[in-house]
Chain A
């Protein structure tokens, strides 16, 4: 009750000296706004960069000798150190909760189609890899779409594909095509089927087949929506609308003449979903398809020749230890740029943290001056309060209480200013800045601890500034100012 009463006095004093305090607190408001704004910006950008662009909870392990893939022009492959045995060893490293072996499609291939999406059929060299579909089951298999290997030898044996002459004879998400694994001599671009679903030329006996399920990374959509579509005047893609989109896959054919094979495989693919586990630029198939394609063109050995293994490490602190374990297995961690990005953002946040600390520090000195002045102005009043029973501690607490209240108000104002500025920034970005890959709807993240830290920062600097004046006020001799006319 006593402190409540003193607090009322504190508030009355603040009101009485509001002009002084208003001036004194501008520096604090600006400093705290700077602090909150740039820290929230750093956190928001970091969330985008590390959460979506370079997830830090995964490490991609590659053989030391394998060169970084350069798209359709595949470099000569070194000896492949990544097989099932090695994947098991990696999975046994402490901190690793899951292992995703990945296999690149090592034969040139082409995708063709897209009229329904782009308004015209596109033909494109593709980069593809394969991943164990079991690892994506929970993520992808919904709304009737499935990321599974429909054509494992076991399945084909158990349920041989039935003969057909047209897509309509087959079930949902199936088409009528060449039997699995059929190779035909390459003869240029495959013709688009006519309106009746029949190809122009007679084909070998056809069977009902599942589409090859294909997933892509969000990166692909981001990249497409952010830049590519602009260059080509294509419509914006809604990721959900892409599901179910089908296209032709021609394995063994390439736009690069030297990559062409004599025999090609005609399959058809269907987009079934998106995942961060998909290859960043390209398409990802269930591992079995890629294994079979690679074996077809590169021999039996290719079945176990993984190009990388993704390790899932949910606890960030384990990452360093896992990386060390990877080195010990004579493998290497593929540099994702995440560390550099994280460092860059940390430096950015530190610089602005420092700038705001300097602003708030200077403001605290200003606050100190104002409080010294106030204490001087109020010395008679302070003497009166001492005479009627205020202890030194009471006087000190009143002054510091004023400083803390000032800090709370200035800090709140600073945070409001920062949030407002952030909202305006986001708004301007949404309306006037053209799309770019990973353009976020908000660049800011104001977690509760940032608000608490900003308030604490503001209050402590105000209190710090008022510390010496409060001390002087508490130790003033009341007698001197009270006696006399």
Chain B
């Protein structure tokens, strides 16, 4: 389904050029569930955004279902994001002034062509999808009244709204405690197994990585197949004690349930780190 070849990506901030990825090759088959691990700042999000059609400023090719993303116009790429991809982010990124059902139906606003639904159809479908993530009773709630795990499930429902074949999840459990995180991963596995949705999950959680069929590692600008020694060590460390997780994990993946339930616009810690 996904075919990345020779992908190079550098960020330019003024005169400063930060090379991030240099020569990434990656294949993801239809129906696969892949986890991506790697140190903070290694370019995992960058890769995910490019695959999801949020960023076209790279070299090399990314094909999804045989279609070269960079050859698409902005409108075509937007339609691709709308119909074929579901994004799930660490920060949930819900619109806090809209109810859960409105958040979930948001993709309907930007549908084109035959994918267009009436407002009623869209809200009906949003309710149905919220039911699938066990949130029937939160349809008209505002996201700010929900727990972190519930918010992430609303975000997942939004990603599922247009029945995508591909879901791209960027540290989806990063703001959740381990119990909630586990439930989310369970949900992903169900979507993968029951609905055949292809999932690419960026994670710092070695337990999540270990639970996927396949793990790739982004390091030094390249994608390496397999978790490698470091991951196994992390997994082992996590088995023994959650306190001995390495520096990155404790820095990025906050496991504190209190801070996970972020108010309004959560502080953008890793983004700030990335911009610094």
Contact = CB atoms under 8 A, between A and B. Distances in A.
B110 A482 contact: no
Given A1-B116, A389-B81, A384 B106 contact: yes
A478 B265 contact: no
A125 interface: no
B158 interface: yes
Contacts of A393: 74-75
A351 interface: no
A66 interface: no
Interface in B40-91: 45-46, 49, 52, 54-55, 74-75, 77-79, 81-83, 87, 89-91
Contacts of A394: 78, 110
A385 B175 contact: no
B271 A16 contact: no
Given A1-B116, A384-B106, A478-B54, A483 B90 contact: yes
Contacts of A16: 97
Interface residues of A, number: 29
Given A384-B93, A387-B52, A485 B268 contact: yes
A6 B90 CA distance: 27
Given A484-B271, A485-B268, A389 B79 contact: yes
B83 A389 contact: yes
Nearest to B119: A5
Contact of A480 (B77, B91, B271): B271
Contacts, number: 110
A9 interface: yes
A265 B174 CA distance: 115
A329 interface: no
Nearest to A1: B116
A380 B83 contact: no
B190 interface: no
A299 B121 CA distance: 98
B262 interface: yes
A482 B271 CA distance: 9
Interface residues of B, number: 52
A485 B78 contact: no
Given A383-B93, A388-B81, A5 B109 contact: yes
A386 B55 contact: no
A392 B83 CA distance: 17
A193 B83 CA distance: 104
Interface string A69-86: 000000000000000000
Nearest to B253: A485
Nearest to B93: A384
A477 B55 contact: yes
Contacts of B270: 483-485
Interface in B224-276: 252, 254, 262, 265-272, 274-275
Contacts of A381: 95
Interface of B: 45-46, 49, 52, 54-55, 74-75, 77-79, 81-83, 87, 89-91, 93-95, 97, 106-112, 116, 118-119, 158, 161-162, 170-171, 174-175, 252, 254, 262, 265-272, 274-275
Interface of A: 1-2, 5-6, 9, 16, 380-381, 383-394, 477-485
6 contacts: A383-B93, A389-B82, A479-B45, A483-B89, A484-B269, A485-B174
